[in-house]
Amino acid sequence: MSTTEVISRITASGISGIKKTDIRKEFQNMQIDETLEFLVTKGDIVMDKKGSAYYLWQADNYLENLLSYDPKFRIIYNAIVQLKYILKDNTEVSYSAAKVMRKHSPEQKGPDKIADDICNELPITHTEEVTTFDQDQFRQEFDLITKKYSNSSGWVSLARIREEFSKKYNMTIDCFYALVENLTNKEYEKYELSSGGHEGLTIRGLLHGFVRCI
């Protein structure tokens, strides 16, 4: 048995994690404690105490576990993500505006023309790619993936769903969230969004990164 098999087994346990004692039983033929310590040090897995037992998670699954079951962590994490988006957006707009200003200097064009050029060349969030993907097909795929990865309460992170769409359709993040926004607005009685996560839809200034079918 190899380190890769250990990681795969822990990853397969999902956001619920797996008891350290169970891993020991499954991998009795290797120095499992040393292997686990090595993986924790590398950051591939996380070990934390739940109740009276120690559990193991794959790093991303541990983050989703905290976002799903720890309200305080979700609030703090969401605030940090919102700040990151604000800083990123401001940086991109400032950089793009400066780039356009250098390209279209006042010596070459009047101020009105420069303003038009800046508006035309600044980043656009939702691209025309959205129109190339059938909304009904998207809804069917979206529902299937949601059911496949949802936890016991029916929640699943939008990031996980997007990853599946990206693998299958090579879909950009802007296209995916434009379609999600359209779907959840149009069929708001079928889908429920929840705040949290590291990416998602911003609603009333709050990042919503989880969804479930009602």
Q: Tell the CATH topology of 3-66.
A: Arc Repressor Mutant, subunit A (1.10.10)
pLDDT classification of 50: cutoffs 50, 70, 90: confident
Q: Tell the CATH topology of 128-213.
A: Arc Repressor Mutant, subunit A (1.10.10)
pLDDT at 88: 57
Flag whether pLDDT at 168 surpasses 80: yes
Nearest to 199 by CA among 168, 170, 166: 166
The 10s digit of each residue's pLDDT in 183-211 is 998 888 899 998 888 889 988 888 899 99
**The pTM of the whole model exceeds 0.75:** no
Q: Which residue has the higher pLDDT, 180 or 97?
A: 180
pLDDT at 101: 43
Exposure of 5 in the CB half-sphere (CA atoms within 13 A): 9
Q: Which residue has the higher pLDDT, 96 or 12?
A: 12
Flag whether pLDDT at 169 surpasses 70: yes
Backbone angles phi, psi at 51, to 5 degrees: 70, -125
The 10s digit of each residue's pLDDT in 51-97 is 889 999 988 888 888 888 888 877 777 777 666 656 655 554 444 44
